Amino acid sequence: MFGLLSIIPPIVAIALAIITRRVLISLFFSIWVGGLIFTGGDPFAAVGTTFDWMKDVMTDEWNARFLVLVSLLGVGAAFMYKIGGSIALTRALEKQINNRRRSQLFTWILGILVFFNDYADSVITGNASKDINAKYRVSKEKLSYVMDATAAPMATFGPVSDWIGYQVSLLAGAFAAIGIVGTQPYFAFLHSIPWNFYCLLSLIAVPMIIFGKDFGPMAKAELRALKTGKVIADGDTPLSSVENDIGEPVRPERANVLYFILPLVTLIGVGVWALWYTGGGPEGKSMMDALADTDVAVALTWAAFAMSLMGLVLAVIHKLSFKEIEETILSGITTMLPALVIMVLAWSIGTVTSELGTADYVVNATESWMTAGLLPFLVFAIGMFIAFSTGTSWGTMAILTPIAVPLAYNIGGIELIYVIIGAVFAGAIFGDHCSPISDTTVMSSIFAGSDHIAHVKTQIPYALVPAAISAILYLLSSFITSVWILLIIGIAALFFTLRFLGDRYQKKNFSKEDIELLNSVGKITPLEDY
């Protein structure tokens, strides 16, 4: 509808966020630019349109529930911190986690275990691991990368998550539209998992980087933390700080590791039950059928409320006063306030791209010269662009799945559909990882305690490596039909590429002493303040 002009607002949002390091201003201005285009260049009408779009996304039932959900997750996390649950967990594991690599590996493993939801993953993993990582001088940039590169890929693989239910429901709609009856959507999803190259390689890249060598802006951040003990760079400002917002834990010497475990178990247990229940589980549906029909926003809001309620009960047991309990609730919401504002603005950018027809323009610009050999690569690339521009992987999946699945079926049948499903999910999650307006990227920044733009800048080079290898694998898929051979090639390429980049960057930019410091493991003096 608006052609080339339709891609200007998301590009403005990304560029301004990186240049100014002020996400909120950048997002608001880009929405106004979208309004300016939409209203034909009238700046005053553009202001009115901007606020109409923001009002609409806030009053949308789905979005409103997610705002409540994120607030409740902040409350639950605040209780876990205030009553010393995170400190108790760190204390219980400090003998086993006694160096930098183990502290980062602990973060990665915990992120894999909390596969239930990427928001919950950020909340729980960040609270449990940030102190132990800071103690061993792991930069906040590195911690937020480990968290971000683990949360969304695990949620999209499951085995039980709201992401799977959402993805299967999209496939069910696409299959119904083209009349596929011999293949179940969930069966197709399972077959697509090995073809989701980016998520698989992103997960594998984390331990490779932990046990390998850092490069790019991340290497500089790690060297700064090691040499100065400053896990946050001078001049950087975290979106939010749990310590500043919530204050010090109350009577941490009496804290019990159950104060961390019980809210976590409550969140996951109630979440799984609520996903099953709201999806029709009591009516006899299987778990996966229920996930396909579940009301994700309702189910996860119940889970977050149950987590907060458990935290409140434990706070009473820990003998917090009612004043302290009330302050903890309010400070938990305060901690999430930057995420809430960015989510509203990011959703508004999604409205802008929808009104201007950004996705249609990108797809139509490539559709005429698309072939079976190029289709997986192009779907992956378009998904990357849309997700990076809009900051939403779910929105990207919703845009591309109804277009890409029928196109794949017409060109290559059911076997090509498996490849394309993996490519859609891979492209969507890459953009979600790297976009400064992505809610999951914001959550990782908040709960790692990192400056948001610093997290984006340091993570992008690390995400581009598995993304580039994934793109090559999709191109090779027309010649090499075995996905397992492609994965072996991809993992080997990932290992040697990361090793080469780390060696080359460090030799070119650092002294011999700095290189030895960067790659030392057990010789780092822990910071006593953590």
Of 443, 390, 465, 507, nearest to 148 by C-alpha is: 443
* pTM (predicted TM-score): 0.74
Task: Evaluate whether 349 touches 10 at the Cβ level (below 8 Å).
Answer: yes
- As beta bridge partners, residue 405 has none
| Tens-place pLDDT, residues 330-351 | 888 887 777 678 778 777 877 7
For 255, other C-beta atoms within 10 Å of its C-beta total: 22
The verdict on whether omega for the bond into residue 159 sits within 30 degrees of 0, i.e. cis, is yes
Q: Return the structure tokens found at 70.
A: 């994120």
pLDDT by residue for the chain (530 residues), tens only, comes to 677 888 788 778 767 766 775 667 877 888 899 999 999 888 999 999 999 999 988 888 877 887 888 788 888 888 888 888 877 877 787 778 888 899 999 999 988 877 766 766 777 788 778 888 888 889 999 999 999 999 888 878 865 555 666 677 677 777 776 777 666 677 788 788 999 999 999 999 999 999 999 999 999 999 999 888 888 888 877 766 666 666 677 787 787 888 888 988 898 888 888 888 888 888 888 776 776 677 777 887 898 899 999 999 999 998 888 898 998 898 888 877 776 787 787 778 777 877 887 767 766 775 666 677 788 998 899 889 878 877 777 767 767 777 778 778 877 778 888 999 999 999 989 987 888 877 788 878 888 888 888 999 999 999 999 999 999 999 999 889 899 999 999 999 999 999 999 999 999 999 888 888 888 765 566 665 54
| Tens-place pLDDT, residues 403-440 | 778 778 877 778 888 999 999 999 989 987 888 877 78
CA–CA dist 171, 421 (Å, integer): 8
Q: Return the structure tokens found at 482.
A: 């075995």
| Tens-place pLDDT, residues 181-204 | 666 677 788 788 999 999 999 999
* Residue 146 confidence (pLDDT): 94
CA–CA distances in Å: residue 120 to residues 92, 148, 270, 448: 22, 12, 13, 13
Alpha-carbon torsion, ordered 453, 456, 461, 464, to 10 deg: -150
Q: What is the largest CA-CA distance in the chain?
A: 67
* Residue 494 confidence (pLDDT): 97
CA–CA dist 34, 243 (Å, integer): 37
Q: 3-class DSSP state for residue 451?
A: strand
CA–CA dist 32, 18 (Å, integer): 18
